[in-house]
Amino acid sequence: MRLFRQDTKVEALGTAPIFEGLSKKELTQLARVTDDVEVAAGTVLCKEGKTGSEFLVVMDGEVEVTRSGRRIGTGGAGDFFGEIALIEDIPRTATVTATTDVRLIVLTAPAFWGMLDLYPTIERKVLRTLASRLVANSADPSLA
Ligand code: CMP
């Protein structure tokens, strides 16, 4: 479902911390290679153990993150998900579920890699978050 007109989408992208520092021209280019979607509360965005190749940025709404049925995190506007399976080329490490209606920006794997190639500042933000999540998960007593 299309949510934003192109100019509104560019504006929305500019509000997400991950895209902070990008010029209007860069945000416009990014808007062209991303999809904006709205999903209903209860929609599973990433499923633990399944293959997944999309990178998701929450623009509005709330999500929860679970592993083995246990809640390990929550997220909202500006938070991003799906980076681990993409970077590590492994199955999804957790399940991410919309707990309210959620608006998302979705990047395919090629769009994700293209974005990281172009913008080292974004790459650093993604890597920092990936590292902290891996550390959090490795300390998770539910992990074998
Ligand atoms: P991925 O493994 O591709 O799919 C599930 C996503 O949940 C994962 O990428 C991260 O984006 C996110 N995730 C994994 N572990 C945590 C955590 N401890 N806290 C928040 N988000 C997480």
Q: Round to whole Å and give the CA distance between 37 and 47.
A: 18
Q: Does ligand 1 have an atom closer than 6 angstroms to the CB of 56?
A: no
Mean pLDDT of 98-114: 97
Q: Round to whole Å and give the CA distance between 53 and 109.
A: 6
Tell me how far the alpha carbon of residue 93 lies from the centroid of ligand 1, in angstroms. 6
User: Which residue, 69, 118, 114, 108, is CA-closest to 86?
Assistant: 108
Q: What is the model's pLDDT at position 63?
A: 98
Average pLDDT across the chain, whole number: 93
Q: Does ligand 1 have an atom closer than 6 angstroms to the CB of 61?
A: no
Q: Does ligand 1 have an atom closer than 6 angstroms to the CB of 65?
A: yes
- Residue pLDDT, tens place only, 83-96: 999 999 999 999 99
Length of the chain: 144
Q: What is the model's pLDDT at position 2?
A: 56
Q: Is residue 78 within 8 Å of residue 132, measured between CB atoms? A: no
Whether 144 has a pLDDT exceeding 60, the answer reads no
- pTM of the entire predicted model: 0.93
Q: What is the model's pLDDT at position 7?
A: 79
- Residue pLDDT, tens place only, 24-80: 999 999 999 999 999 999 999 999 999 999 999 999 999 999 999 999 999 999 999
Q: Does ligand 1 have an atom closer than 6 angstroms to the CB of 46?
A: yes
CA dihedral 47, 83, 76, 73 (to 10 degrees): 60
